[in-house]
Amino acid sequence: MRRILAATVLCLALTACGGTEDAGLRRTGAPPLDAARVTETFGWVLTADALLTTGDGGATFETTTVPLPETPVRAALFTDAEHGTVAAAEDTAIYVARTTDGGKSWQTRELRDEKASPAGYSSLRMASAGDRTVILARVATSQAFRVGTLWTTAGPDDWTALPAPESGRVSVEPDGRIWVAGTALHASTDGGRTWLGSDLKVDNAKSVAVSPPVDGTLPVTVTDGTRSEVQLLTTADDGRTWDTPTRIPLNARTGPGVTVPVARTDTGPMVFDTAGGHAYRGAADVWPRGLPEGVRAATFAGGGRHGWALTARGSCKADKRDCVVTHDLVRTGDAGASWSPIAVWTQPA
């Protein structure tokens, strides 16, 4: 599940992308695929070969062994420090591991779709609400196609594979409604059996990348070839139509199909520019201190003061040689006003 943003690629074209690094924060092993702050103290980091968990907000991490294949096609989801699910795809199978005791033990399940493409899967996304958990798997096709399969369950052992309207991002509402977002937005109220597309009223768009709704707001990343912006749309008809956008111009330009991270907070969605030091509430830049370039995921815990952001930035030595990608995990304790690093991974570009 490689999710390095196009901003990282753009950054690699530079001789250096800024940022500082404490040698005591450096970690070895595979770089992070995803990370989330779940509570004020608990969070997790997923790599291709490990699950790292913390019970002190990121001051220390423990490696948790999950009985799944080592692969970059992975996803994880925790509702609290005890209850979590990790999924991994290998060839045409998806393997799911659940824990109810904070990773001390795991119950595993192998999922196979008889209609699966022999090419297998190239990425996984996961979401849950109440008793329903869904996995959105992207079929390993060319980048020109976004074929998806939705695995859904209302319990631990009754997984069902259904065709998804596309692959992209997925979310689940408390009432069970499933959203799938990518080049468009679709909703299902019957567990993924049928889908209804939404009408998106986006201004001046040549390329759009849609994220799932965040507390009644729909973030759409819009690129016109020279500039990028996020448009926050609202709905007055329960999601059938989204319009009246609040437009947020970005300092960095994203590539086609790349969404800008938007995190849920108690004061509304927070939009993260891929240019360092910029994040927005509404249309206002909060000028967050210490936020690196290339934010690709961000989450806030209950109360909205404690959050994590996962970033990827590139740097090269002279003549654009010996390039590396640096992945930073940073945290905030003041609702995103300032950020500090808690872990750093470096890999050759």
Torsion of CA 133, 136, 137, 143, to 10 degrees: -160
**Residues pairing with 160 in the sheet:** 152
Burial 316-342 (b: 16+ CB within 10 A, else e): beeeeeebebbbbbbbbeebbeebebb
6-348 is classed CATH 3.40.50.1010: no
Edge-first strand listing for the sheet containing 185-188: 169-172, 178-181, 185-188, 196-197
How confident is the model over 87-106, as pLDDT tens digits?
999 999 999 999 999 999 99
Q: How far apart are CA 31 and CA 296, in angstroms?
A: 13
Q: In the predicted model, what is the mean pLDDT of residues 332-348?
A: 95
What pLDDT was estimated at residue 4?
35
Q: Which residue has the higher pLDDT, 83 or 11?
A: 83
pLDDT band at 15 (very low <50, low <70, confident <90, very high): very low
Domain extents for the chain? 6-348
pLDDT band at 119 (very low <50, low <70, confident <90, very high): confident
Q: In the predicted model, what is the mean pLDDT of residues 19-30?
A: 67
3-state DSSP call for residue 154? coil
In degrees and rounded to multiples of 5, residue 135 shows phi and psi of: -120, 125
Q: Which residue has the higher pLDDT, 154 or 109?
A: 109
User: Is the pLDDT assigned to residue 78 strictly greater than 80?
Assistant: yes
How confident is the model over 128-171, as pLDDT tens digits?
998 899 999 998 765 545 689 999 998 767 899 999 999 899 99
**Residues pairing with 89 in the sheet:** 94
What pLDDT was estimated at residue 14?
34
What pLDDT was estimated at residue 235?
98
Q: In the predicted model, what is the mean pLDDT of residues 31-35?
A: 97
What pLDDT was estimated at residue 10?
37
